[in-house]
Amino acid sequence: MSDHSAIEWTDATWNPVRGCSKISPGCAHCYAEVFAERWRGIPGHPYEQGFDLRLVPGKLKEPLGWKRPRRVFVNSMSDLFQDGVPIDFIKTVFKTMREADWHTYQILTKRHERMKAVVNKHLSWTESHEHIWLGVSVEDRKHGLPRIDSLRETKAGLRFLSIEPLLEDLGPIDLSGIDWVIVGGESGPGARVMEPGWVLSIKDQCKAHGVPFFFKQWGGVQKRSAGRLLQGRTFDEFPAGRMEVAL
């Protein structure tokens, strides 16, 4: 776990699963894969197997030992709803989130259909737990927009979108049932360009529907120089509630 995550919209990360596989254009320049593969073959390192899928049972109870409430990004280095992650393991992850309910958990996936199937059948209790936030990644119209429809049909205490990397103009978005939207550009080597008009369209739609809007970054090869100002200011909106203000 990282006590001070560099990810702007969370406080900490928790990775009971490591590794993933590419399934859509948004995965092309995956930061997690680049990081993990640096350590492949180094004995004893958490990522000695690179970005291969690996369950880490020793981390399942980790949040129970964190006494200070925080926002926790679940599996920043993986996707909990990959086919290779057993349903019983997923259920144990959610059990910990239910027990350590002083934290707020942010679960993000591109495997929207499996998330809907597993949660609705085995974890429907999640719907009454507003500290467990379920979200989907949205990078373009073809792959991203269907994920939003699937998320809407998933039982959740709170639903959010991570529109990052934003690769094209999404056009009108159905934001019904969505409680939070994050937008960001791709960063690092080979980063694809995000046009300001694409971002402003989403921001305006969020405002019209009363959905909190968080602008993460412009991205680019040197993301720090590009910054995260939009129309001369930062947008750090969060869903209302106990974690509305970062701790």
Q: Summarize pLDDT for 104-136 with one digit per residue, the tens.
A: 999 999 999 999 999 999 999 999 999 999 999
Instruction: State which residues of the chain have pLDDT below 50.
Output: 1, 244-247
| C-alpha closest to that of 163 among 191, 186, 196 | 186
pLDDT of residue 1: 46
Contact in structure between 170 and 141 (CB atoms under 8 Å): yes
Q: CB–CB of 132/156 below 8 Å?
A: yes
Q: Residues of 188-202 as b/e, b for ≥16 C-beta within 10 angstroms?
A: eeebbebeeebbebb
Block residue for tokens 């429907």: 124
> Tokens 């639903």, residue?
159
pLDDT the model gives residue 5: 82
What pLDDT shows up at residue 221?
86
pTM of the predicted model as reported, rounded to 2 decimal places: 0.95
Kind and range of the H or E element at 150?
helix 141-152
Residue 127: its H or E element: none
pLDDT given at position 224: 86
Burial category of 18 from C-beta neighbours within 10 Å (exposed 0-12, middle 13-18, buried 19 and up): buried
